[in-house]
Amino acid sequence: MRMAKGSKVGLVIGAGLAAGALGIVAMVKLGAPAQGRDEARAQLEQWQPAWIAARDCYVGKPRAAADPGDAIAIRTLTGDPPHCAAEVAGLSRPAGVSTGVDEIEQAWADVEEATRALGRTEGKKGPAISKLEAAVAALYAVAGADLPPAAAGKAVTITPLAPGPAVPGSVGMVNVAVRDHMLIGQVDAGAPSGETQLIVRSPTEARVIREAPASARAVPDGSWAAAIESDDKAPADGPPLAIVTAGPVGDNGEVGEGAATVVKGKVAAVLGAIGAGANRAVIVRLDEPTDPVAIVRSTDGGATWQKPVRVPGSGFGLAQADRISGAVDVSWEPPGSEDDPDGVPLDAPGGFWWHVTDPQAAPKPVAVPTSDAVSHGCATGGALWFADDRLALATADGAPVRPIEAAADIRACTKAAVATVAGTRIFRCTGERCDDGMEVQTPEGAGMSGVTDVFDAAGVIYAQQSGDTIAVWRTGVEPEFVRAPADMKLVAVVSWGKQQHLGLLAPDGLHLAPVP
């Protein structure tokens, strides 16, 4: 069958029209992504100032660190914590038409979801910010737009710490303090069987000392102890009486069999015990209104004890065994001083300190001009640093008390120097003067709640933690930042020789990490 000539012409025209229609559709499909990306870039141009404001609010301008969580931790530790709720609330997609490009619309949806997640996040916001930054970067990429760079700044590195193994016997350590570059704390605090004192003298040397309730283990070697108990034979209608005994002590801190009677009668407490070998002494507080602090001596290794010798002018006494210098520090307020509502002026004796190092000698109490008992100071090796109206130093040799600077909070001490805090500055002071101090910008609302030690040569080290990040300030250098394992809490900083260590407490005990 033959087709008419006119039919051939119609077929050719029809084919041409179809081809033209397909070309138009192809052009539309090719043009839609370009138009969508143009629309996305226009929206990003409107949205970008809000994004930069929110990003810089969290990570800083210049950026404190590459990782958002690190940046927030650094800013928090240096007194510039981010508060960015308003900036996050401003991260809304500009009103406008859909781009019509699926991958762009999905990228916008991812940014909006990450923004909502950041707003809902409590506590650590670093991971949420990282997720939002990744979503924003993906949106800019599919839109073919240039991502706005972060403000240039000095890169900060957070160095991971390498803690050593747990110190034996340190599980549950509390009341951690540093004195004479020794780290001292308590474990089993408040337990009925008594307390264990843990002294760490170096990264590899720790000493555990257990004391039973109402007892005092002797310094320096701890081989014997004195304990007090009620006298069951005292008359029921008379005043309460007690018996103090002294003898060998076991691992649990209790005085063993064969203990000798030190003193009996109106005794209120055992304040301390000192000596090894033949010469020994027990310091007690008698239940008397005047001169209650007394010392009882033995010259035959504790087999027999002499009559108590009372300290003239003594008052209510407190004591601390200084196992580092092998001494017992006793302090008290004069009788009646606690009744003075105005306290005691700096130029008048307000308290007394007695640094007992020789069980046979009779140390002269040193008058300390403070309005409170001097136990709030830092006593070590025959030096007592205390702060009342001002920082001052008393020495066991009876030299006049030396006022040094305005009032300060004592943080750590050696015989040679003390670390003190005044406002947001931390100082190293000697018996002559204080240095210029260093400014420490600490977490908002936390104050100077970190940990401190003082160098023998010069300067102070101070550390504070936020999350797993720890800021370390040292005199004369910029703050450094280190990272602790997630389950470790900063409890101390201590200087051993030329190396500083951080004390980190974990569920399995105390770990020591050298500061890089």
Closest CA to 345 of 291, 396, 271, 401: 401
pLDDT exceeds cutoff 90 at 303: yes
Question: What is the average per-residue pLDDT within 69-92?
Answer: 88
pLDDT exceeds cutoff 60 at 441: yes
Q: Residue 58: exposed, middle, or buried by beta-carbon count in 10 A (0-12, 13-18, 19+)?
A: buried
pLDDT exceeds cutoff 80 at 345: no
Closest CA to 305 of 358, 263, 363: 263
CA–CA gap between residue 280 and residue 284 (Å, rounded):
13
Q: Residue 202: exposed, middle, or buried by beta-carbon count in 10 A (0-12, 13-18, 19+)?
A: middle
pTM of the model: 0.78
Tens digit of each residue's pLDDT (9 = 90 or more) over 203-246 = 889 988 888 888 999 998 889 999 999 988 777 777 789 999 99
Quote the tokens at residue 75: 């800013």
Question: What is the average per-residue pLDDT within 420-441?
Answer: 86
Q: Given pLDDT bands bounded at 50, 70 and 90, which one contains residue 26?
A: very low
Top-confidence residue, 448 or 178: 178
CB atoms within 10 A of CB 60: 22
If you search the block for the tokens 């994004």, which residue do you land on? 51
Question: What is the average per-residue pLDDT within 465-491?
Answer: 91
* pLDDT above 90 coverage of the chain, percent: 34
Question: What is the average per-residue pLDDT within 349-376?
Answer: 78
Q: Given pLDDT bands bounded at 50, 70 and 90, which one contains residue 336?
A: low
**13-31 burial, b if ≥16 CB within 10 A, otherwise e?**
eeeeeeeeeeeeeeeeeee
The mean pLDDT of the chain is 83
Top-confidence residue, 10 or 164: 164
> Could you tell me which residues come within 8 angstroms of residue 468 by beta carbon, excluding any fewer than 6 positions away?
73, 483, 484, 485, 486, 488
Top-confidence residue, 444 or 3: 444
Q: According to the model, what pLDDT value does residue 347 have?
A: 42
Q: According to the model, what pLDDT value does residue 469 have?
A: 92
